[in-house]
Amino acid sequence: MGHPAAVQELKARLAAARSVAVLTGAGISADSGVPTFRGADGLWRTYRAEDLATPEAFARDPRLVWEWYNWRRELIVTRSPNAAHYALVDLERRVERFWLITQNVDGLHPAAGSQKLSEIHGNIWKVRCSQCGHVGTNRAVPIPIPPRCPTCNGLLRPHIVWFGESLDPVDLERSFSAVRSCEVLLIVGTSGIVHPAASFASLAKEAGAFVAEVNLDPTPNTQVVDVAIQGRAKDIVPALL
């Protein structure tokens, strides 16, 4: 845990706040058994996630990239939200203005019941046609490779934001506006290196928010925040709320 007085202050601020934003990353789902993005458990065969989550990788070898997503779908379909996901649903119901921004594509926040939510990197259960842009839900596990568009027979890709691609402008604007206008920003289980989410802590600080981090380890955000709490999301987040 962080300094006890700082933790008490965070609890009090969360209880009193009329406007709260939350940013989550792979660490919150680690407690549900979903491998994190950058930990050693994120490795698949001999590939690093960063080398597969790119438009170049998909253009070069769509089968390889789909095999990787199939592996992740098989894993995620057996996993459920944990106490931290559910605590954020309670918080959403209690706070007047609330927005949850997640970098996770596993869909565990909506599965827990979160509604005021932007999945800024997309969702692994959605597919998009690389030819006509049609977006649909597809929960097949595994998905037959290569998956084809129901309307134009084009090659389907995961509806996920890869490195070098732009985020959805609506999600992005909503997230920036929540970060700029919140009284408290709570950051949970992210390594804080992927932009634009990596800039949210500083943005919120500059706008005068109280910013807190929950993570197993120190991150680049740790220096920026008002209170950093070291521990597991599933223990700390419910205890704070």
The pattern of x and - marking residues 43 through 62 that bind Zn ion according to CB under 5 A reads: --------------------
Residues of the shown chain interacting with ligand BV8 in the complex, contacts defined by CB under 6 A:
25-27, 30-31, 36-39, 53, 103-105, 121, 160-167, 189-191, 193-196, 214-217, 219, 232-233
**CB neighbours (10 Å) of residue 94?**
13
Smallest separation, CB 5 to ligand BV8 (Å) = 22
* 79, 97, 134, 174: which one binds Zn ion (CB under 5 A): 134
Select from 102, 108, 104, 116 the least CA-distant residue to 83: 108
Longest dimension (CA), the chain: 59
* Residues in 147-186 that interact with Zn ion by CB under 5 A: 149, 151-152, 154
Give whichever of 85 and 232 is closer to ligand BV8, judged by the CB atom: 232
Listed ranges 11-19, 127-135, 189-197, 226-234: which one lies at the site for Zn ion (CB under 5 A): 127-135
The Cα-based distances of 195 to 63, 117, 123, 198 in angstroms read: 27, 18, 18, 5
Q: Which does 25 bind (CB under 5 to 8 A by kind): Zn ion, ligand BV8, none?
A: ligand BV8
Contact 81, 158 (CB under 8 A): no
Which stretch of DSSP H or E encloses residue 117? strand 117-119
Q: Which residues are catalytic?
A: 121
Give whichever of 14 and 83 is closer to ligand BV8, judged by the CB atom: 83
Q: Which does 132 bind (CB under 5 to 8 A by kind): ligand BV8, Zn ion, none?
A: Zn ion
Q: Is 132 in the site for Zn ion (CB under 5 A)?
A: yes
Smallest separation, CB 58 to Zn ion (Å) = 15
Paired strand residues for 122: 160
The Cα-based distances of 190 to 4, 155, 186, 221 in angstroms read: 22, 32, 11, 9
| Strand order across the beta sheet in which 135-137 lies | 135-137, 122-129, 156-160
- Contacting positions for Zn ion (CB under 5 A): 129, 131-132, 134, 149, 151-152, 154
